[in-house]
């Protein structure tokens, strides 16, 4: 039976462009988000944020706030309900080692902006006003928030974070090889702290049903995480907690873990025995996770033609006092390029901030930035073309794992990207290309990200009217998951896409991992495919058993599903409709739940990564120091592309975030008071429409067996390497090498 996603039937959905099936709901406002769901007798909570970065609360006065008409209760550490705490019962799927932050737990202040009270009132405006009347006195201590100043206390994390590979053991002798190398480069690199800033702020709406069961609408990238958190912290059974998040207004990793508004909303709802909503302000979105502050040094030794003889990459990353946040920063250097003498190190330094958080392509954005700027510097030092230098040091194996790549079409990325961009017309001399009063620069870089698959389940139900419903608990964080799962299901059963409904973001559905890591298409997609195949097999058996069935004596592997029918491959006249088969089988629905995971031999024997080559043109006003990114060509090798339209959008979004990293985004810490000072969208700059010009995406053909779908995921790869390519283009334009990003006016003309 031909029911794979490479079906030879006429209904070709997978691999073709389709608009988002959830698009109409989003553009018309029918899509509801966590802070928009209605509930009877709904109260509103407003968080009071702390005023110091380190110390203790010595007094908290709430009487004036409580006297405001409409205020129901003010919660503080002094009167909060007692609960169980997750340290002892629960570890969420993405949490680093340590003790998770506990809101209103005691009088200790761990970081600036920490919640110190929750005002609950009949409406949001009253709660906000009353919150301004809460008075808090502190015994302040001097915070330590500068990673450089804490470097002497750096340590190798004793407990490794699940899923995060530590640096491999060194091979060869990187120090001796570096000293002997004819060409030596050793420099420090830094990418500024960044906050996620999705359009939708974090919010939780807790619906109280009066029977001890709650329904929670939470801003989360995986509802199972919130359900497990609530059950553990509040001593509830999982079946007493239903969590939903049908739509997410951007996540980028900050929605992987439950944030403190969820605890506060559930705490208040249980205490007051009524529905409660807590929505954070934009200012408060800066009071938890962020892309960490990482200090890096990359040292390259090479021969006169640029062949690497020594590679060393060292990183020091900031983390909170209460958790050892870790990500893969330095390993990419040994994965991307072949070198016989490699030493990598990754250490942590504790600072008085909240724990950093995964942010789109965590670790790779940071580590590949340093590596790819360093490789550009090596190209200039040895007189080599930057593309040719990378090809000369091309790796055919992942030496960190000792495995060959299952597929790697990076050479084709270089070739196709360079051709589309017109790279051969580049004059390599810095400051040699101009247009009017602007300096023109062309730069490039490589991108890499893991092609991951997680254990996932999915359910499917085909009803006797020929309609199909599929789904699981994972979320669609704006990537197009609703659409691609609909395509996969429609392809397997040969149904029109409009006859397929996909449901996501509900703990009542089959369990699936959080939406992150670029693994959703491979994980949930494969599970949906398997569930639909099971239904296909069951309905085929009914069709074959019909009296005088045209499919009698036909084997399962000799039929195709198309147009709502089961037909003999090559002979569409011999067919049975799905509806007729179910009628003959006397069933009104056929259901299946299937699971899929990374258990294939291919996944164990081969390394799986997505790759990219990014080519960038910038124009720099030398007098004003303004940088414009005028062209980007991003060539992507990511296995099978399920939907080129949504896939292209993913790469475009990643590229735009990369432009932000390179030129604009910077969370500024005042180390004297330990506070991020630009905690709003007026002073924390992100790219806007006027910053974005000609972005071009190429999907390079690539086949891989890392998972049954042959997909590699696209959420992360678009951003990796983009900032480095921009920095390299700025050097080509100006002759100024900026290693401390973002590249702002003062760094170019100062």
The single-letter DSSP state of residue 359 is -
Q: Which of 231, 204, 243 is nearest to 507 (CA)?
A: 243
Strand partners, 44: 121, 277
Decide: 436 and 619 in contact? Cβ < 8 Å.
no
The single-letter DSSP state of residue 571 is E
Q: Which of 696, 697, 670 is nearest to 145 (CA)?
A: 670
Tokens standing for residue 542 = 């009914």
Burial of 746 (0-12, 13-18, 19+ CB in 10 A): exposed
Helix/strand/coil for 88: helix
Alpha-carbon dihedral 407, 413, 415, 419, rounded to 10 degrees: 150
Strands (E) across 69-130 are located at: 71-75, 108-109, 115-121
Distances (CA, A) of 143 to 116, 187, 193, 293, 295: 18, 29, 18, 16, 20
Tokens standing for residue 234 = 């509040």
Q: What residues are annotated to the active site?
A: 716
Distances (CA, A) of 464 to 187, 497, 567: 66, 17, 18
CA gyration radius for the chain? 27
H/E element, 398: strand 397-398
Strands (E) across 451-507 are located at: 456-463, 468-471, 500-503
Q: Which of 191, 179, 614 is nearest to 376 (CA)?
A: 614
Burial of 426 (0-12, 13-18, 19+ CB in 10 A): buried
């Amino acid at each position: 039976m031909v029911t794979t996603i490479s079906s030879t039937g006429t209904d070709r959905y997978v691999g073709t462009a389709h608009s988002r099936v959830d698009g109409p709901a989003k553009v018309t406002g029918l899509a509801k988000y966590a802070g928009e769901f209605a509930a009877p007798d709904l109260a509103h909570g407003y968080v009071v944020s702390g005023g110091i970065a380190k110390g203790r609360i010595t007094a908290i006065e709430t009487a004036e706030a409580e006297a405001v008409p409409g205020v129901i209760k003010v919660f503080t550490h002094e009167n909060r309900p007692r609960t169980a705490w997750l340290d002892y019962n629960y570890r969420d799927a993405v949490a680093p080692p340590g003790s998770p932050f506990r809101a209103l737990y005691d009088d200790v202040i761990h970081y600036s902006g920490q919640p110190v009270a929750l005002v609950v009132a009949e409406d949001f405006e009253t709660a906000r006003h009353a919150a301004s009347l809460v008075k808090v006195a502190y015994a302040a201590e001097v915070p330590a928030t500068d990673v450089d100043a804490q470097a002497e206390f750096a340590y190798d994390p004793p407990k490794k974070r699940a899923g995060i590979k530590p640096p491999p053991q060194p091979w060869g002798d990187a120090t001796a090889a570096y000293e002997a190398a004819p060409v030596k480069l050793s420099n420090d690199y830094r990418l500024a702290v960044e906050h996620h800033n999705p359009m939708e702020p974090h919010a939780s709406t807790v619906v109280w049903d009066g029977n001890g069961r709650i329904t929670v609408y939470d801003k989360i990238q995986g509802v199972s995480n919130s359900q497990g958190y609530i059950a553990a912290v509040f001593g509830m059974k999982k079946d007493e907690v239903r969590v939903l998040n049908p739509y997410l207004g951007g996540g980028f990793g900050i929605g992987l873990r439950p944030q403190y508004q969820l605890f506060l909303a559930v705490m208040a709802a249980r205490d007051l025995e009524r529905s409660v909503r807590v929505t954070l302000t934009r200012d408060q979105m800066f009071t938890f996770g962020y892309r960490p502050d990482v200090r890096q040094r990359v040292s390259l030794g090479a021969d006169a033609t640029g062949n690497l003889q020594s590679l060393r990459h060292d990183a020091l990353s900031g983390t909170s006092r209460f958790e050892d946040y870790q990500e893969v920063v330095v390993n990419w250097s040994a994965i991307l390029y072949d070198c016989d003498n490699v030493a990598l190190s990754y250490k942590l330094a504790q600072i008085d901030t909240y724990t950093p958080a995964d942010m789109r392509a965590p670790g790779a954005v940071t580590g590949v930035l340093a590596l790819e700027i360093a490789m550009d510097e090596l190209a200039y030092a040895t007189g080599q073309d930057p593309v040719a230098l990378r090809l000369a040091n091309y790796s055919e194996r992942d030496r960190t794992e000792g495995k060959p790549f299952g597929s790697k079409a990076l050479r084709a990325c270089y070739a196709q990207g360079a051709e589309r961009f017109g790279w051969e017309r580049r004059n390599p001399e810095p400051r040699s290309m101009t247009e009017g009063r602007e300096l023109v620069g062309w730069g490039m870089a490589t991108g890499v990200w893991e092609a991951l698959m997680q254990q996932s389940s999915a359910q499917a139900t085909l009803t006797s009217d020929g309609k199909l419903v599929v789904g699981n608990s994972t979320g669609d964080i704006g990537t197009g998951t609703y659409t691609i799962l609909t395509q996969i299901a429609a392809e397997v059963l040969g149904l029109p896409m409009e006859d397929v409904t996909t449901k996501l973001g509900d703990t009542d559905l089959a369990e699936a991992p959080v939406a992150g890591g670029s693994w959703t298409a491979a994980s949930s997609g494969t599970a949906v495919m398997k569930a639909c195949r099971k239904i296909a097999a069951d309905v085929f058996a009914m069709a074959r058993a019909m009296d005088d069935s045209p499919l009698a004596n036909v084997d399962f592997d000799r039929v195709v599903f198309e147009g709502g029918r089961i037909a003999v491959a090559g002979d569409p006249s011999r067919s049975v409709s799905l509806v007729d088969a179910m009628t003959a089988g006397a069933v009104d629905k056929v259901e299946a739940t299937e699971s899929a995971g990374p258990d294939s031999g291919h996944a164990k024997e081969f390394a799986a990564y997505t790759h990219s080559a990014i080519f960038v043109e910038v124009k720099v006003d030398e007098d004003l120091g303004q940088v414009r990114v005028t062209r980007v060509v991003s060539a992507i090798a990511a296995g099978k592309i399920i939907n080129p339209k949504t896939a292209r959008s993913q790469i475009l979004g990643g590229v735009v975030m990369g432009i932000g990293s390179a030129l604009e985004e910077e969370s500024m810490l005042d180390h004297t008071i330990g506070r991020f000072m630009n905690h709003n969208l007026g002073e924390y700059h992100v790219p806007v429409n006027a910053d974005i010009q000609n972005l071009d995406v190429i999907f390079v053909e690539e086949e891989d067996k890392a998972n049954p779908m042959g997909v590699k995921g696209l959420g992360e790869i678009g951003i990796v390497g983009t900032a480095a390519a921009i920095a390299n283009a700025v050097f080509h334009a100006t002759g100024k090498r900026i290693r401390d990003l973002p590249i702002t006016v003062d760094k170019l003309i100062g």
